[in-house]
Amino acid sequence: MIEFGQLLAGPYCSSLMADFGADVIKVEAPPAGDPMRVWGREKVNDHTLWWPSLARSKQVVTLNLREPEGQELALELMAKADVALENFSPGTMEKWNIGPDIALERNPRLIYARVSGYGQTGRYKDRVGFAAAGEAMGGLRYFNGYPDQAPPRSGISLGDTLAAKQAFEGILLALYWRDARGGNKGQVIDAAIVDACFAMTESTITEYALTGAIREPSGSYLSKIAPSNVHKSKDGKWVVIAANHDSLWKRFAVLMGKPELADDPRYATHRERGEREHELYAMIDEWAAGYTAVELDEMLAEANVVSAGVYSAADMYNDPHFRERGLIVDLEDSEIGTMPVPGITPKLSETPGTIRWGGKWEVGADNEAVWCGLVGLSQGELGKLQEAGIV
């Protein structure tokens, strides 16, 4: 797989591929490489902490795609690849003469994946797009937050990650069709941040089109789905309690010491509880405030009621479950040392995936191995290209 990507959406997709065994060659612009090498607020040994995980298990090479010599080398790489991935603005790869039409002429079996803000078609295709804009137009920002307040964003680049996962799905589907279903040729995958966010919006468009209803932000709970909300414990921590299914509600009513509410016609059914959600939440607030978060967790788990603490990074790091699941694993980095990073998901029984190495700090660390070993340049040819700023 060849990654012509930078920042997050494209590189995260190829990280997923690398986790499960793909040989990923990441192409970076000389001399500085991907800006993700220096992105991130926190540093250890003067290095930011995002790069080693995002670029893990990838070979890294440099190539100037703005020059004809670099474009020809890019096509030679794609001629040898199963998959190429890019996340530049639509039209950029065509401007550089390495778009899918030309690449598929060289390699008809190539899967050519494209990730952008708004997609390769439609009236907004030429707009530059980041996760923030995609989440806004794709509906996620509107539903989030509280009524009459500015719509907040998640503290992560959610739109980028969603688009990357859609590209990942598309690549796997295209490979399956090509190799297992008799397709015998490549195709182009068009994944967009707006599309990926919009795909998460459930029945909201149908509701609006057929009834005129617009789903509004409702804060910490989904309106009419009750009880399912966050409640503050005695020690000031937030805990999710979700007992909106009838059988869950009955168990929860008993746990709260109010078994009579289980069959009370005002609360017995999903619809009736939704109509009285504010009454319920006031009642649960009062009950939850009498216990610590740990006590609530133990009591609710014992009663088989859905619950979870609202975890910070510290909570996740210190909960043994995350290590037991392999969600946090240790990576040895040459500059930082031992560092915990997100592990591999999902869990496969026969091909579980592995992190082979962390992201390489030297820009162009694998130039010789790829350009000479894979493409077939001589040492002299590589040297001339380096002197000319092509590699």
Question: pLDDT tens, position by position, for the chain (391 residues)?
Answer: 999 988 889 999 999 999 999 999 999 999 999 999 998 888 999 999 999 999 999 999 999 999 999 999 999 999 999 999 999 999 999 999 999 999 999 999 999 999 999 999 999 899 888 888 999 999 999 988 888 899 988 888 999 999 999 999 999 999 999 999 999 999 999 999 999 999 999 999 999 999 999 999 988 888 888 899 999 999 999 999 999 989 999 999 999 999 999 889 998 888 999 899 999 999 999 999 999 999 999 999 999 999 999 999 999 999 999 999 999 999 999 999 999 999 999 999 999 999 999 999 999 999 999 999 999 999 999 999 999 999 9
Task: Round to whole Å and give the CA distance between 297 and 378.
Answer: 63
- Give yes or no: residues 289 and 349 share one domain: no
Within a domain: residue 31?
yes
Contact between 390 and 377 (Cβ < 8 Å): no
- Give yes or no: residues 94 and 36 share one domain: yes
Active site residue 285: no
For 150, left (φ over 0), alpha (ψ -120 to 50), or beta? beta
- Give yes or no: residues 121 and 12 share one domain: yes
Task: Round to whole Å and give the CA distance between 213 and 203.
Answer: 11
Within a domain: residue 338?
yes
pLDDT of residue 153: 85
Residue 38, Cβ neighbours under 10 Å: how many? 13
Chain-centroid distance of CA 255 in Å reads 37
Contact between 200 and 140 (Cβ < 8 Å): yes
Residue 387, Cβ neighbours under 10 Å: how many? 9
pLDDT of residue 294: 94
- Give yes or no: residues 312 and 342 share one domain: no
Range of the domain at 137: 2-200+329-387
pLDDT of residue 319: 95
Give the pTM. Answer: 0.91
pLDDT of residue 155: 86
- Beta-carbon contacts of 297 under 8 Å, excluding residues fewer than 6 positions away, are 239, 307, 308, 309
- DSSP class of residue 17? H
Task: Round to whole Å and give the CA distance between 304 and 349.
Answer: 28
pLDDT of residue 130: 87
Within a domain: residue 342?
yes
Within a domain: residue 324?
no
Catalytic residue among 19, 34, 82, 160: 160
Q: What are phi and psi of 57, to 5 degrees?
A: 60, 20
Contact between 27 and 77 (Cβ < 8 Å): yes
Residue 240: give its domain's CATH number.
3.30.1540.10
Q: Which of 317, 351, 378 is the last residue of a domain?
A: 317
Domain count, the chain: 2
